Structure 1
Amino acid sequence: MHDFKFDARELKNDFNFDAYKLKYDFKFDARELKHDFKFDAYDLKHDFKFDARDLKRGFKFDVYDLKHDFKFDARELKYDFKFDACKLKHDFKFDAYELKHDFKFDARELNHDFKFDGYDLKHGFMFDACELKHDFKFDARELKLDFKFDAYDLKHDFMFDACELKHDFMFDACKLKHDFKLA
């Protein structure tokens, strides 16, 4: 019921973690995770930090009802990544420098500020943020392949920096409520 620290720097095989109703801070270090990883953390109540700088295989993360700040560092994520964060309640920061493969992010009902840095994003990116409630900043300089963004009912300011965007870009923002800036 208290702080949890998991160090899996050289985890060699598949890993399945179920942490229903985890109540306090969680820190996961998986810098050299070698195989598929599945994490279900329904009702995660406090801050969460995940460091997966050299994650080598597929990753699936479900955090329904995440209640507090979340920081994900995946600077050299090598394979497909799927993140489902329905009803994310607080600030979210995602650093994905040199993300190498497809990325799918589903953040329906994201309620607070969101910052995404995806320098050198190398493959397809799909972001579904229905009912995004607060400011959103997306920096995707040198985005290399197709990008699809769905932001129905985006409620506050949106800033998108896509310098040197190399391929197709599709942005669907029905009912955009506030300022939109694209650099």
Structure 2
Amino acid sequence: MLKMLKALSVQRTGWFLLVLSGVLLELTALYFQYGMQLQPCVMCIYERVALFGIIVAGLIGMIAPRFFIIRFFALIIGLACAIKGVLLALTHVDYQMNPAPWKQCSIFAEFPETLPLDKWLPVLFQPTGSCSEISWEFLGITMAQWLVVIFAFYSLLLLLVLISQVHKSRTQRRLFN
């Protein structure tokens, strides 16, 4: 399996699939926001930024997938964003499952002054909802819980691809052929 993941990582196809999956998830989020009128909260916006980080990692990997340094850099960025996404989604689930007046997210996105995404692209990054509100479920699982699954999958996949970069495959000698 590691051999297959490494072979996929040195081709643009693998990185394109990573970008495509992230873009499709972002488009789904925008459909929920504008098509279904579900208002994103601050945690939703932060999770959206983490997903954009995975997309950027895929784009970096697509630049020159045959160069180890670029692949490694893209994998580290993607893995860091995926792990951050898991942590954000778990916090979001905690806000939803254990609501309390003293445990709530901010009503404003707190981006760095040098990167005020909510001011630059309010269509994508302006929070208007409440973190503890559960406004959508599928199969009895909330959107935040689905995001835990999605980011955990990305984390596991990117970790395995990272391991495949340094894993030496053993060549088997065949006695009878």
TM-score relative to the length of structure 2: 0.24
Return the structure number with greater relative CO, CA threshold 8 A, min gap 6: 2
TM-score, normalization by structure 1? 0.24
Structure with more of its chain in helix, by fraction:
2
